Structure formats: C-alpha cells, structure tokens
Amino acid sequence: MAALLAIQSPRVRADIVEASEFPDVAERYNVYAVPKIVINDTTEFVGSQPEGAFVGYVAQAAGVQEGPPPAP
C-alpha cells in the first residue's frame, strides 16, 4: 500500500525496512510488532489498514491543503 501511494504522489516516498537487519532503526521507532508504519516520524500505526485509513494517516502526517484548486 505504501508503495502505491508513493507511485501515485510525487510528495510521497516509501521505504520498506526489514526490521531485524536494521535493529538501530527498529529500536528508534519502537518496532515490537510488524508491519509497523511510521510517517514523517510523527504518525504511526501497527498492522495492515484499508486504503482509506492509510491515506488518512498520510494526510494527518503531511497535512492537506484546503480550499479550491488554483485557477488554470
């Protein structure tokens, strides 16, 4: 799912990290169960999520511009 969001949006990038090979990183983010997802070091959750919920977490971490789109 993370990769799909990265493919869709140039503002999203996705790292898949094998936790046992990078124990220092896993420890830094308190990875005790997988999959654990961390977005911008500010938003995190554990376990698979449906697309809408996952996108919601991304929006929470990165913020969403409100208001009408700029005129063409």
Partner 1 sequence: MAFLNDQDAAFVRKRFEQELAHDVTLEFFAPTAGGLALPGQDAEMAEYTRQILSEVASLSPRVHLNAHSMVAEPEAAARFGVTRTPATAIIGAQDYGVRFYGMPAGYEFATLLEVIIDVSKGAPALAEASKEVLGKLADEAHIQVFVTPT
Interacting positions 51-70 with partner 1 (CB under 8 A):
51-52, 55-56, 58-59, 61-66
Taking a C-beta distance cutoff of 8 angstroms, is the pair 34, 25 a contact? no
Taking a C-beta distance cutoff of 8 angstroms, is the pair 57, 37 a contact? yes
Residue 61 CB-half CA count within 13 A: 18
Please report whether residue 19 would count as binding partner 1 according to CB under 8 A: yes
Please report whether residue 14 would count as binding partner 1 according to CB under 8 A: yes
* Contacts to partner 1 by CB under 8 A: 2-22, 25-26, 29, 31, 34-41, 51-52, 55-56, 58-59, 61-66
